[in-house]
Amino acid sequence: MLLYLCLGIAIFSLWYVPFRVSSLSGCKKAFWPVFIACFLVIGGYIVLMGTKLYLKPNIVVALLYNILGILLMLHAYVFCLLLILHPFSYFFKGKKRVALLLTFFVAVSLVSYAYYNSMRVKVTFYEMRIAGLKAPLTIAHVPDLHLGAARGEAFLAKTLQKIQDLEPQVIIYNGDLVDTNIALNPETFRPFEKVSIPQYFTTGNHEYYVDTESELNLLKLSGVKRLENETVVIDGINIIGLEYMNADRATSDNHRVNDLFMDEELPKVFRDRTLPTVLIHHSPVGLSYASRDGVALMLTGHTHGGQVFPGTIMVPLWFPEYKGRYQIDNMTLLVSQGVGTFGPPLRLGTFPEIQIVKLVP
C-alpha cells in the first residue's frame, strides 16, 4: 500500500514541479524541459534499482547511482517546498521568480548539507552494567558500512583508524558491510588487515544482494571472523552472532533473504548459560524472543534512523525501535544509525554513527 502511495506521489510530482516552475518563472515553455529532466531522474533511478543494475561493478553505473540518487532527493525537496509555498502564492505575486529562486536555493542547500553530513562519522558512547560480568569489555559496534558506489578503501581506512584510536577490545561489523559489487576487490578490504583488534562480522540483508561468496571470502582473507549463528566468548561474556533472519514465520519482512527465524534459531545456538550474553543481529526484530532467551544486550542496525528526511518520520512505521537505546523487559537494545548510506549518499535528520559500548560489572 505504501509503495503505491509513494508511486502516486512521484507521478504527481512529475507534473507538479514543471507546472509550478513554469508558472513562477513566467515562462510556459519551461514546462517540458523541466518535465523531461524530472522524468529522467525519477525514471532512471527506478530503472537502476528495479533492474538491480546498481549492483554492477561498473564505475559509470556507480556514478549514475550516486548522481541520480542525489538529484532525486533534490527533486523531492523542490516538490515539498513548492507545495508548502503554494497556499501563499497571493503574497508574492510580484516576486514569483524570487520565490522560485529561493525554493531552489533552500533545496540545494539541504542536499549539499545532507551530502556533507553523510561523510562525517560521529561516535556515540554507551556505558551499561551487565549482571554476572567479571571484567569490563568495550565493544565497537559498526553496522551498515555500505561500501560500494559512494564509499571505498579511503573511507574504510579513515573509519577504522577512528575506531582503533578509541581502543575497544573487539569490533563488531553488524551486517550490510557491502551494498554493490564494485566494492568486492582486495584493495577495498585491505584496511581490515591493518586492524590489530579482534574483528567479527554478521550478515545483513545486503550481503545476499551482492556476490555473497566473494564478500565472505574477502572478509576471511582480511582477518575478519564471521559469526554464523554461533557464540564466541570474550572476557567472560557470550557474544552471539546471528545471520540476518526474520523474527518468526508470522511476521512479514520486505527484506527476507532466507528461511531462518529468530524464535527457532536463537535457542539452538550453544552458549554457556552461566555467562551474560550479548546478541548481535542486523535488524531490530525478534526483540521479545531475545529478551525471553536471557539476552542482556542486543546490538542492531539496519534502519539508518531513517537516513534522510522524510524517511526519518516514516521508519517508525516499520521499526518502533529505530535508533538509540531501549529497554525490552530485562534486555537493553541499542539500534545504531549505521555508518554508511543506501541509495543517495545523504543524511538529513540523522548522522553516521559508530557506537562504543562499554560493559561494566
Exposed, middle or buried: residue 330 (CB in 10 Å: 0-12, 13-18, 19+)? Answer: exposed
Radius of gyration of the chain measured on its C-alpha atoms = 23
The H or E element spanning position 332 is strand 331-335
Sheet of 170-174: strand order equals 122-129, 353-360, 137-141, 170-174, 199-202, 225-226
Domain(s) labelled CATH 3.60.21.10 in the chain stretch across 121-360
Q: What is the pLDDT of residue 2?
A: 64
302 within 8 A of 282, measured Cβ to Cβ: yes
Q: What is the pLDDT of residue 1?
A: 64
Residues forming a β-bridge with 241: 230, 280
Please report which confidence band the pLDDT of residue 254 belongs to, taking 50, 70 and 90 as the band edges: confident
Q: Which three cell numbers stand for residue 122?
A: 560521529
Contacts of 298 (CB under 8 A, 6+ apart): 278, 279, 280, 281, 284, 287, 290, 328, 331, 332, 333, 334
Reported as a single tens digit per residue, the pLDDT across 122-171 is 999 999 999 999 899 999 999 999 999 999 999 999 999 999 999 999 99
Reported as a single tens digit per residue, the pLDDT across 212-249 is 999 999 999 999 999 999 999 999 999 999 999 999 99
Reported as a single tens digit per residue, the pLDDT across 310-326 is 999 999 989 999 999 99
Reported as a single tens digit per residue, the pLDDT across 297-353 is 999 999 999 999 999 999 998 999 999 999 999 999 999 999 999 999 999 999 999
Exposed, middle or buried: residue 25 (CB in 10 Å: 0-12, 13-18, 19+)? Answer: middle
pLDDT higher at 96 or 248: 248
Q: Say how far apart CA 231 and CA 202 lie, in whole Å.
A: 12
Q: Which of 152, 148, 123, 118 is nearest to 55 (CA)?
A: 148
Please report which confidence band the pLDDT of residue 96 belongs to, taking 50, 70 and 90 as the band edges: confident
Q: What's the chain's average pLDDT?
A: 94
Q: Say how far apart CA 219 and CA 257 lie, in whole Å.
A: 20
Q: Which of 207, 334, 202, 340 is nearest to 262 (CA)?
A: 202
Does the domain spanning 121-360 belong to CATH 3.60.21.10? yes
Q: Which three cell numbers stand for residue 323?
A: 535508533
Q: Is 296 left (phi over 0), alpha (psi -120 to 50) or beta?
A: alpha
Q: What is the pLDDT of residue 253?
A: 86
Is the pLDDT score of 263 beyond 70? yes
Number of Cβ within a 10 Å radius of residue 231: 17
Coil vs helix vs strand at 296: coil
Average pLDDT of span 31-44: 96
The H or E element spanning position 216 is helix 212-221
Average pLDDT of span 45-70: 95
Q: Which of 334, 139, 355 is nearest to 237 (CA)?
A: 139
